[in-house]
Amino acid sequence: MIDLYTWTTPNGRKVSIMLEEVGLPYTAIAVDIRSGAQFEPAFLKISPNNKIPAIVDRDTGIAMMESGAILLYLADKTGRLLPKAPAAKWQAIEWLMLQMASVGPMLGQTHHFNHFNKGKSEYAEQRYRDETLRIYGVLNKRLGEEAYLAGEYSIADIATWPWISRYEWQGIDWTAYPHLKRWYLDIAQRPAVQRGYDVPHATTPIPLPQ
Ligand SMILES: N[C@@H](CCC(=O)N[C@@H](CS)C(=O)NCC(=O)O)C(=O)O
């Protein structure tokens, strides 16, 4: 049994989608980051950087923060969604690291400056919009070559997809990204993704570009 501390954000959804995909039993514990619940001392013991997601694996007693590390842990625990062949395995880790280092942090800045705080800084809006479009281009190119980021569906896709699901906040015109759109819509059809998206509670339906 896994305790998942989460909220309705892309980073939280990565882990609920993974848990749904591998079928591990888990309890979702809502940490409302709008009300400051991430700063509660009990939560900080599990997640010292005061961010969701975090897990406690009651089978092993292991507590973890950082979604990329958690995805690797769950893949290792279940033997699922990290390819076994060395080349594909390292590709999955490579694209997972790109998600953690670039996709999440840069698109997150776009949400901050271009969605929530428009008009505060023209420079930051331009900078993060350009970087978001550049990253969309990198992903689109890769997905024009492979069906999924590491060839087969893996934790790299699970880490990246929830960030792309915020494309409306990022002001994306899909015309330039047909391969990324195909991948996004394909993953959106997966029942485990649909269930994981609604954890810890349902918000709006998964957005689907035309
Ligand atoms: N690198 C972290 C980022 C986690 C993160 O940024 N979580 C956000 C929600 S998506 C959060 O908990 N923010 C609360 C805060 O910063 O106080 C991960 O991938 O787990």
Segment 144-177, tens digit of pLDDT: 999 999 999 999 999 999 999 999 999 999 999 9
d(CA 85, ligand 1 centre) in Å: 31
User: Candidates 7, 11, 50: which one to mutate for ligand 1, based on the most atoms within 8 Å of Cβ?
Assistant: 11
Ligand 1 atom closest to Cα of residue 7: 9
What stretch of H or E contains 44?
Answer: helix 41-46
User: What pLDDT, on a 0 to 100 scale, did the predictor assign at position 52?
Assistant: 98
Asked if residue 66 has its Cβ within 6 Å of ligand 1, the reply is yes
CA–CA gap between residue 71 and residue 74 (Å, rounded): 5
User: What pLDDT, on a 0 to 100 scale, did the predictor assign at position 167?
Assistant: 98
User: What pLDDT, on a 0 to 100 scale, did the predictor assign at position 40?
Assistant: 98
- Residue whose CA is at the smallest distance from ligand 1 atom 1: 66
Asked if residue 6 has its Cβ within 6 Å of ligand 1, the reply is no
**How many residues belong to the chain?**
210
Ligand 1 atom closest to Cα of residue 39: 17
pLDDT tens figures, 116-149? 999 999 999 999 999 999 999 999 999 999 999 9
By percentage, how much of the chain surpasses pLDDT 90?
A: 100
Is the CA virtual torsion 194, 195, 196, 198 positive or negative?
Answer: positive
94-116: average pLDDT:
98
- Residue whose CA is at the smallest distance from ligand 1 atom 13: 51
Dig out the tokens for 108 from the structure: 């997150």
- Residue whose CA is at the smallest distance from ligand 1 atom 14: 51
Question: Taking all residues of the chain, what is their mean pLDDT, rounded to a whole number?
Answer: 98
SS3 per-residue string spanning 17-68? HHHHHHCCCEEEEECCCCCCHHHCHHHHHHCCCCCCCEEEECCCCEEEECHH
User: What pLDDT, on a 0 to 100 scale, did the predictor assign at position 122?
Assistant: 98
pLDDT tens figures, 42-84? 999 999 999 999 999 999 999 999 999 999 999 999 999 999 9
User: What pLDDT, on a 0 to 100 scale, did the predictor assign at position 129?
Assistant: 98
Asked if residue 67 has its Cβ within 6 Å of ligand 1, the reply is yes
User: Candidates 51, 116, 161, 169: which one to mutate for ligand 1, based on the most atoms within 8 Å of Cβ?
Assistant: 51
- Rg of the chain over Cα atoms, rounded to whole angstroms, equals 17
Do 201 and 12 contact (CB within 8 A), yes or no?
no
Model confidence, pTM: 0.98
